[in-house]
Each structure stands twice: as structure tokens, then as C-alpha cells.
């Protein structure tokens, strides 16, 4: 195994461990309760001044894995995503289509499909990922534009990260 592949494998394991620690799935799991997962993601987003991206797909979905690899391979896109969004996977497969849960949003025409929610859990954008594709992968500029366009307002984000305000220091005396 080359050093680059070993490093990528370690990074993937670290990401999976971080997702498991947060309680959000790192894979599409037909046995998970999407309502609980999305509610937890919304609560986390509200606490951190972020939005939620609900990634609907399945382990059967080649383009879902290509999207995962895209974020693994593009640190700038991953950082932009992680700074602005809580990412949660919701399964859609033969084993469990999660139809009742997904019926609250517009029907997906293909997979993966991304739903952007605000910090209150309201739908902001229903995103067909086909428009983000280029050749056999995802177009970097289009993904960055998507993540930037639907990110929370900077004022809310800055407020969520700002330290507690203190009284200003007295003005220096003249002399």
C-alpha cells in the first residue's frame, strides 16, 4: 500500500470515527431512524450556527460513493462543508426507502440527492446532484458554489462563534 493510500485510509477511518462519535451515520444504513438522525443534526446545527445537509442515497449508489470520495480528496470543499453544515445520511434502498420520512420534501429524481435545511429544520434547497457532476466525478467549482450559496448567513455564523462581548476599555487620557 502506498503512503498516499495509507494516509487516505487513515483519514477515512478518522472521519468515520468522528461521525460515529457524533451519532451521525457515516454510511447509508437501512436500519437507522432518519427522523432521529435528522433531528439530532438540526439540534447540532442550531447550537453551532450551521445548516444541515441531508444526503439521501444508499450503499448501492455509485455516485454516492463518488461524492464521499470527492470530499475525502478535496480538503477545501470538506472544510467549507464542515464549517457550514452538519451532514447526515438518510438511506434509500430496496431494504428501506424511508418513504414516510422523505415524503415531507420534494421527490428525488436521482441519487445522491441533497436537502439543505436551516437550523430550524426547514427546507431551504432540494438539490439534484446530477447538475454538480462533471465526467466521472463532481465539478469542484460547482460543488464549492453550491456549498457557498446555501451556507448560513455570515452574520449568524459569526455570532455563533463570537466570544462573549466585554465592556470596552476606557479611552486613553490625553497628555
Tens-digit pLDDT profile for residues 7-59? 444 444 444 444 433 455 689 999 999 999 999 999 999 999 999 999 999 99
- Confidence (pLDDT) at 168: 52
pLDDT over 70, % of the chain: 74
- Quick check: 110 pLDDT over 80? yes
pLDDT above 60: residue 158: no
Three-state SS string over the chain comes to: CCHHHHHHHHHHHHHHHHHHHHCCCCCCCCCCCHHHHHHHHHHHHHHHCCEEEEEEECCCCHHHHHHHHHHHHCHHHHHHHHHHEEEEEEECCCCCCCHHHHCCCCCCCCCCEEEEECCCCCEEEEEEHHHHEECCEECHHHHHHHHHHCCCCHHHHHHHHCCCCCCCCCCCCCC
Separation of alpha carbons 67 and 127, rounded Å: 13
Query: What pLDDT, on the 0 to 100 scale, is given for residue 83?
Result: 97
Among 46-50, 75-79, 82-86, 160-164, the minimum mean pLDDT is found in 160-164
* Distances in whole angstroms, Cα of residue 81 to Cα of each of 30, 70, 167, 168: 24, 12, 34, 35
- Rounded to two decimals, the pTM is 0.76
- Other Cβ atoms closer than 10 A to 50: 25
- What percentage of the chain carries pLDDT values higher than 90? 72
Q: What is the CATH topology of the domain spanning 10-155?
A: Glutaredoxin (3.40.30)
Domain ranges of the chain: 10-155
pLDDT for 161: 55
Among 138, 135, 168, residue whose Cα is nearest residue 55: 138
Amino acid at each position: 500500500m502506498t503512503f498516499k493510500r495509507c494516509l487516505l485510509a487513515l483519514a477515512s477511518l478518522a472521519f468515520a470515527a468522528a461521525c460515529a462519535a457524533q451519532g451521525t451515520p457515516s454510511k447509508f444504513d437501512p436500519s437507522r431512524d432518519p427522523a432521529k438522525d435528522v433531528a439530532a443534526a438540526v439540534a447540532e446545527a442550531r447550537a453551532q450556527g450551521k445548516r444541515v445537509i441531508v444526503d439521501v442515497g444508499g450503499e448501492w449508489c455509485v455516485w454516492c460513493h463518488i461524492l464521499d470520495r470527492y470530499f475525502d480528496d478535496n480538503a477545501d470543499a470538506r472544510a467549507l462543508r464542515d464549517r457550514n453544515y452538519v451532514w447526515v445520511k438518510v438511506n434509500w434502498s430496496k431494504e428501506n426507502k424511508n418513504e414516510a420520512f422523505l415524503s415531507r420534501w420534494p421527490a428525488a429524481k436521482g441519487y445522491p440527492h441533497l436537502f439543505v435545511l436551516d437550523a430550524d429544520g426547514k427546507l431551504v434547497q432540494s438539490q439534484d446532484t446530477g447538475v454538480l457532476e462533471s465526467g466521472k466525478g463532481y465539478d469542484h467549482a460547482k460543488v464549492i458554489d453550491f456549498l457557498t450559496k446555501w451556507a448560513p448567513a455570515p452574520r449568524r455564523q459569526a455570532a455563533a462563534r463570537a466570544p462573549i462581548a466585554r465592556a470596552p476599555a476606557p479611552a486613553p487620557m490625553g497628555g
